[in-house]
Chains A and B, each alone.
Chain A
Amino acid sequence: MKPMLALGLVVAVLAAVAPFLSIYGQHIFVLVALYGSVALAWNILGGMAGQMSLGHALFVGAGAYLSTALYLNLGISPWIGLVLAACLGGALGALMGYTVFRRKLSGVYFALVTLALAEMALHIVSNVSVLGAANGLAIPARPSLANLQFTSKLGYCYAALAVLTVAAIVIIAIHRSRLGYVFLAIRENERSAAALGIDVVQGKVIAAAISGALAALVGPIYANYVLFIDPESVLGVTVSIDALVFSFVGGLGSLFGPLLGTVVLVPLTELLRGMLAGRLAGIHLIVYGVILVLVMRLAPRGLWGLLSDAIARRRA
């Protein structure tokens, strides 16, 4: 139970610290927790099971649009929307995984299918008027716990932290179970995994389903934090790329490297944005690109790899 205990401790510390942060600090807290959750979700499929997706925006967007559309049109509480979003994300992940992996598509073909699916979803949503088409959906501000809206940023900090905690618990649980070894075997060598009697397709489908469900959980929280969603912001390719960047920079093979990547890059982004005050749009993406290339060249195991190497060296 040691990792769970450590997780509980970290979450408790974060929860205790959150009220003392400035408003701006709390904003960063929310962003890091939300992006971190998507990155952790991405890493279950991309890092643990080794199937690189370029379309996780599909899950985030599906979750955001489902809960928002249900709330706006039928008055269904976003809490129920949150549960349904996870179900939808899991179902989409399983369906996508089943159709793709059954046909033995992997590597770049898998990346392209996922990219195309997310882009197609973006164009479909842009043409559906119930979903606000290209203009997006605005959520009227009615703060109450039942509406998953809070008067202060602190409430959102806890909501985002809760999602992050769920993702972390799932990852630790997978890692300690047989499923974790199945994912590892698939990632390292599919053929030997199959030879050992592992159902490779089933393993990848499960990874896609869990990954999709967790990513979809972020959608409703994000929608209720910003109170506005449009196709580009939740279904756009940048959402998928961000998850990938954070994971690779943080360290693909590790359990919590993607979170480390988020913790470093998101505040850096906000800092840059503040310094440049709106000039030179996109500069943070140049920085992402440079860091991505440098990490691939100099430290393919990411920041987490660097960190654990340094610790190992000190102990030795």
Chain B
Amino acid sequence: MDLLPLLPQALADGLLLGAVYAIVAVGLTLTFGVLRIVNFAHGDFLALGLYLTYLGATWLHLDPYLSLVLVLPLVTLAAAFTYRLLIAPVILAPEHNQIVVTLGLSLILQNAMLAIFTADLHTMPSVLSGQIVRIGNVFIQAAALIASAASIAVCLGLYWLLRSTELGRQIRAAAQDRDAALMSGVNVDRMYLIAFCIGIGSLGLVAPLIAPFNYVSPSVGSSFTLTAFIVVVLGSMGNFVGALIGGFIIGLVEAVGGLLTGGSINFIITYAIFILFLLFRPEGLLGGRRL
């Protein structure tokens, strides 16, 4: 079979997927860059957002796009509670303990969703679900286009927030040197809370947007967590632009790899890239530049 005609489609799919990976990874890289905490429960908050969207669709008959007004604040609120209850107490603890706490949180979230919603897959159709945009021989779902555009916009917006606002300056100060920031009058704890809420809250924004062309199951979260880790390591931990680039790379690798190999073998390629990067260039593509 000649695969060349299918390549543009795969590239388009890869870029669309990559944008979503990028925003999920940006949230992870923000919490790591600022709090120095690796959150193994990151993707589970995306799953939480998807389930909230699903509830909005079944109980309130809300279109996924409308449920955004509920899902975004609820997920952000969950993030704030998580920070106060679990993250803040271990912020100065050894790395092992922090990892174990977020792993524990992941176990709790994932299996609570499993207990409540069972392992069944649920879809959340929207008015836009069937809409297709055609460019030449490439077919693109309108919903995927919106999600990707929004993801990129949010990434850039967050970058602007961190670079050009007073709040961003304080967050960066807290990230760069906790003690110096404290002495300069920055409320570090508050900055940590805000960074954590933004990092997780962005998932509350993405969830309703990807809901129309995705399914949700309790294990969705952990697969996104792992992908986000791969993207973050690829683009250098704590680096925004890197997460954006890394997201597109992994999206393209998965889409083109899926085209060439067909099926689950492309996971192996992704993991191989990840492991090679961890071994030979753990500082990532862009090096150790921090927030």
Spell out A's residues near B (CB within 8 Å): 50, 52, 99-100, 103, 105, 107-109, 111-113, 115-117, 119-120, 123-124, 126-127, 237, 241, 244-245, 248, 252, 280-283, 285-286, 288-290, 292-293, 296-297, 300
A112–B278 touching, CB < 8 Å? yes
**Whole-angstrom CA separation of A285 from B107 in the bound complex:** 6
A127-B264, A248-B100, A282-B115 given. 19 additional CB < 8 A pairs?
A105-B279, A112-B278, A113-B278, A113-B279, A116-B275, A119-B226, A123-B265, A252-B96, A281-B114, A281-B119, A285-B110, A286-B107, A286-B108, A288-B107, A289-B103, A289-B106, A289-B108, A290-B104, A292-B101
Q: What is the chain B residue whose CB lies nearest that of A297?
A: B89
**Which of chain A's residues has its CB closest to B232's CB?**
A112
Known contacts A108-B95, A127-B264, A292-B104: A286-B111 contact under CB 8 Å? yes
Q: Which residue of B lies closest to A122 (CB)?
A: B267
Structural contact, B229 and A296, CB atoms closer than 8 A: no
List B contacts of A241 (CB < 8 A): 103, 107
Q: Indicate whether B38 reaches chain A with its CB closer than 8 angstroms.
A: yes
- Count residues of chain B with CB under 8 A from any CB of chain A: 42
For B38, the chain A residues whose CB sits under 8 A away are 108
Interface pairs (8), CB distance under 8 Å: A99-B279, A113-B279, A115-B226, A116-B274, A120-B275, A241-B103, A248-B100, A289-B111
Provide the residues of chain A in CB contact with B95, threshold 8 Å. 107-108
* B281 (CB) vs chain A CBs: closest residue: A103
B184 to chain A, nearest CB (A): 29
Q: Is the CB of A289 within 8 A of B278?
A: no
Contacts of A100 in B (CB 8 A): 279
Binding site for A on B (CB under 8 A): 38, 86, 89-90, 93, 95-97, 99-101, 103-108, 110-112, 114-115, 118-119, 218, 222, 226, 229-230, 233, 264-265, 267-268, 271-272, 274-275, 278-280, 282
Specify the chain B residue showing the minimal Cβ separation from A238. B107
Asked whether, in the complex, the Cβ of B264 is within 8 Å of the Cβ of A116, the reply is no
Contacts of B104 in A (CB 8 A): 288-290, 292-293, 296
**Inter-chain contact A285/B111, CB cutoff 8 Å:** yes
Contact A281 B118 (CB under 8 A): yes
Contact B103 A244 (CB under 8 A): yes
For B90, what are the chain A residues with a Cβ–Cβ distance below 8 Å? 296-297
B272 touches A296 (CB 8 A): no
Taking CB atoms, residues of chain A closer than 8 Å to B271 are: 116-117, 119-120, 123
- CB-CB under 8 A for A296 and B278, given A285-B111, A289-B105: no
Q: A248-B100, A286-B107, A296-B97 are in contact. Are A103 and B264 (CB under 8 A)?
A: no
B120 to chain A, nearest CB (A): 11
- Expressed in whole angstroms, the minimum distance between the Cβ of B96 and any Cβ of chain A is 6
Choice from A108, A113, A285 contacting B275 with Cβ under 8 Å: A113
- Cα distance A293–B106 in the bound complex, in angstroms: 11
Instruction: Give me the 3 closest cross-chain CB pairs, A-B, nearest first.
Output: A289-B107, A292-B104, A282-B111
Q: Which residues of B contact A50 (CB under 8 A)?
A: 96
CB proximity of A124 to chain B, nearest CB, Å: 6
CB atoms of B279 and A282 under 8 A apart: no
Least CB distance from B98 to A in Å reads 9
Inter-chain CA distance A157–B261, complex, in Å, is 45
- Distance A5 CA – B223 CA, assembled complex (angstroms): 47
Which of B96, B105, B115, B119: most chain A CB closer than 10 A?
Answer: B96
**One of A107, A112, A124, A252 near B233 (C-beta < 8 A):** A112
Specify which of A127, A252, A288 is in contact with B265 (CB 8 Å cutoff).
A127
Which residues from chain B contact A248 at a C-beta distance below 8 Å?
Answer: 100
- Nearest Cβ on chain B to A302's Cβ, whole angstroms: 11
Interface pair B274/A292, CB less than 8 Å apart:
no
Give the docked Cα–Cα distance between A138 and B100 (Å): 35
Which residues of A sit under 8 angstroms from B119, Cβ to Cβ? Answer: 281
Residue of B nearest to A107 (CB): B95
Complex CA distance for A123 and B179, rounded to whole angstroms:
45
Residue pair A109, B275 in contact (C-beta under 8 Å): no
Residues of chain B lying within 8 A (CB to CB) of residue A126: 264
- In-complex Cβ contact of A123 among B267, B274, B282 (8 A): B267
CB distance from A296 to the nearest CB of B (A): 5
Contacts of A244 in B (CB 8 A): 100, 103
List A contacts of B96 (CB < 8 A).
50, 52, 107, 252
A103 touches B282 (CB 8 A): yes
Find the residue from A108, A248, A283, A297 having the highest chain B CB count within 10 A.
A108
